[in-house]
Structure 1
Amino acid sequence: MTTDAEFDALTTEEQERRLTAFAEFVLDQWDDGWRTIRLIKYRENAVFAVANATGEQAVLRIHRPGYHSDVELRSELAWIEALSEDGIALPRPLRSRTGLVLVTAQVKEVPHARQVDMFEWVEGRPLAHLTETAALIEAYRQLGALAGSMHRHSARWHRPEDFRRHAWDIEGLIGVKPLWGDFRELSVLSTDDRLLLEQAASRAALELEVLPAEEYTLIHADLVPDNVLLGVDGVKVIDFDDSGFGWRMFELATALFPYLDAPHYPAIEKALFDGYRSSFALSQQERARLPLFLFLRSLTYLSWVHTRSGTQTAREMTATFVRRARTLARVYLERAAA
């Protein structure tokens, strides 16, 4: 059996080849003769476009080991199915020939048994590929409305008793062991950076402790442009891998974060909130907490690049994430002091 160290030492191309062979192997657990077309993404999970003999397409997701338990993944899939039943258009899970939404398989060329699920195919262009400002602003209005509909659903949904997902709460964001790692350990932070971020994080913890309970619900938690597809019938959201319990404004801050430096950011922000209010109530007090949650989102990205320092994304984005965290910490502290 291949070990983690042996697999990590392989080239990316060889890892992808082995995961593609794994995908071909596990697809036999679904009916209709599914086969892989191409690897869509390999960063955390390995995600493949697949097709069957009739030409129908779907998405196969091979999970990285250790991030979610089987119970947590079945809970994610249960929420997606419940959202779909409530009229929110999402790619629904496809059950295996034995009726399972989640299967586990293992091959000797890939370390660990891997959890695998499959979803309906969704046609669309990722928001990350939009270059037309007007189209992007309209897409963010639609995204806001979709986020509001999801939050409205989660606020009233009676979850199964065994429902389990991680929490983007105080501990998950800035505690001793945050979900994505400890931003404080990022080696490139200067002494001044650490002092600034700690000051802002301490102030944020105090504010989070007293926020109204209704602002905390089940959220997607990763509404970034790569996870939002624009099709002929509007926007659709994919990839609930990071979904869990969190503050609604953390959701909206996540959607806005990639465009903070864009010249049309104010229009994007307005469109997102206008769309959200068209689906679900948002008070001025909650809306005013955006600087808090933009700052907290920035810390999660520092944690991410710290724990994945060897990745291309970390090498390219660490300096940008540090700069943004520094700026957002100052903005948040100035607002808190006002």
Structure 2
Amino acid sequence: MSAVVQQALKLWGLEAATVSLIATRENHVYRVNREGETYALRLHRQGLHSNAALQSELQWLAAIGAGGVGVPSPIAAKDGRFLQTIDGVQVDVLTWLSGRPLGATTQGIDHPDRTSVFRALGQEMARLHTVSDAWTPSADFARWSWDRAGLLGDAPLWDRFWENPSLNVTDRALFANFRFTANRDLERLETTLDYGLIHADLVRENVMVDGDHVRFIDFDDAGFGFRLFDVATALIKNLDEPDYPDLKAALLAGYRAERPLDPSLLDLFMALRAATYVGWIISRLDEEGGHARNTRFIKTARTVLTKYLNRSTQSGG
């Protein structure tokens, strides 16, 4: 156990707990058990978010949890603060959500009734958006924005996807064309789109299924954004599933059961989501599995970007 974890346990009064490392993605996440209670202890990736951004995330989680959305709740340390910094590492503790992940990117969907669970996913996503709209953040609330600049600007949130070093000449032309066309189309339409706080990473690993309940974890990427970006994120990893059309229809139906949704621009946001991964991987190419993921991301992006560009051309865009 690291010195940071040991100190965190003291700060939260969890010295007698048993601890196990369960995730090493963006953050190091530990499962903490003590006297029948379970918590998630998070050590945040250094440099990813400011203290203000993390405090805002915790504030939002508390608000949407109080509004009935299935999310973890922040736990205050003994001094009453939700966020601590230990040896330069930002640390917080959340309640543990029961259930199992909907699946894994390389292992498929782990559920016997796939369309029903995607309908439930759409419903809970819509509730998340509705409760978020009804909540008023504090004046110092600070999260990044998946807006047009954050997706397509000169300094996008997840790096300059069109400069991924693995792109060949044809790819570079495709990505440059997409960036120009998507920016033009989004600029024309952005003021008409549903925009607000979003999860921004509702992939299978972050959707917990417990009986009939669907809950969301890992709000690391959360911020302001287009609601269709949340929908696209939940769908993009499932494009190769044999029943993808049914999964997509179920998710959209579930969402519309709770909240209006116009999916006419979904192809655009599927392409935007695919492009972001090609940017995200640039700084992680040398991590374990980085090059394999890069290959998958570029392959998916080629397909989705081409589909969007063809549709844009046919529609006279």
Structure 1 CA distance for aligned equivalents of residues 308 and 18 of structure 2: 47
Q: Which residue number in structure 2 is paired with residue 174 of structure 1?
A: 152
Count of residues in Structure 1 that have an aligned counterpart in Structure 2: 310
Kept in 2, the 8 Å contact 1:127–1:136? The answer is no
Q: What is the identity, as a one-letter code, of the residue corresponding to 1:41?
A: A
Kept in 1, the 8 Å contact 2:69–2:128? The answer is yes
1:259 alignment partner, SS class: coil
Structure 1 CA distance for aligned equivalents of residues 109 and 200 of structure 2: 24
Kept in 1, the 8 Å contact 2:103–2:110? The answer is no
Q: What is the identity, as a one-letter code, of the residue corresponding to 1:172?
A: G
Q: What is the identity, as a one-letter code, of the residue corresponding to 1:271?
A: A
Q: What is the identity, as a one-letter code, of the residue corresponding to 1:181?
A: D
Q: Which residue number in structure 2 is paired with residue 58 of structure 1?
A: 39
1:278 alignment partner, SS class: helix
Please report how far the alpha carbon of residue 213 of structure 1 lies from its aligned counterpart in structure 2 after TM superposition.
4.7
1:68 alignment partner, SS class: coil
Residue 54 of structure 2 is aligned to residue 117 of structure 1: no
Q: What is the identity, as a one-letter code, of the residue corresponding to 2:95?
A: E
Kept in 2, the 8 Å contact 1:133–1:264? The answer is no
Please report how far the alpha carbon of residue 21 of structure 1 lies from its aligned counterpart in structure 2 after TM superposition.
3.8
Structure 2 CA distance for aligned equivalents of residues 302 and 325 of structure 1: 8
Residue 141 and residue 332 in structure 1: after superposition, are their counterparts in 2 closer, same or farther (change >3 A)? Answer: same
- Which TM-score applies when normalising by structure 1? 0.88
Please report how far the alpha carbon of residue 271 of structure 1 lies from its aligned counterpart in structure 2 after TM superposition.
0.8
Structure 2 CA distance for aligned equivalents of residues 34 and 66 of structure 1: 30
Please report how far the alpha carbon of residue 274 of structure 1 lies from its aligned counterpart in structure 2 after TM superposition.
0.6
Please report how far the alpha carbon of residue 195 of structure 1 lies from its aligned counterpart in structure 2 after TM superposition.
0.7
- Which TM-score applies when normalising by structure 2? 0.93
1:61 alignment partner, SS class: strand
Q: Which residue number in structure 1 is paired with residue 55 of structure 2?
A: 74
Residue 134 of structure 2 is aligned to residue 156 of structure 1: yes
Unaligned 5+ runs, structure 2: none
Percent identity for Structure 1 against Structure 2? 38
Structure 2 CA distance for aligned equivalents of residues 124 and 21 of structure 1: 30
Q: Which residue number in structure 1 is paired with residue 84 of structure 2?
A: 103
Please report how far the alpha carbon of residue 321 of structure 1 lies from its aligned counterpart in structure 2 after TM superposition.
1.0
Kept in 1, the 8 Å contact 2:6–2:15? The answer is no
Q: Which residue number in structure 2 is paired with residue 216 of structure 1?
A: 195
Kept in 1, the 8 Å contact 2:102–2:110? The answer is no
Q: 2:270 aligns with which of 282, 285, 294?
A: 294
Residue 282 and residue 42 in structure 1: after superposition, are their counterparts in 2 closer, same or farther (change >3 A)? Answer: same
Please report how far the alpha carbon of residue 57 of structure 1 lies from its aligned counterpart in structure 2 after TM superposition.
0.9
Unaligned 5+ runs, structure 1: 1-16, 107-112
Trace 1:177-326 onto structure 2 (pairs within 5 A): 177-209=155-187, 210-283=189-262, 287-326=263-302
* Offset from partner CA, 1:302-325 (integer Å, 9 cap, x none): 011111001224222211111111
Residue 282 and residue 131 in structure 1: after superposition, are their counterparts in 2 closer, same or farther (change >3 A)? Answer: closer
Q: Which residue number in structure 2 is paired with residue 44 of structure 1?
A: 26
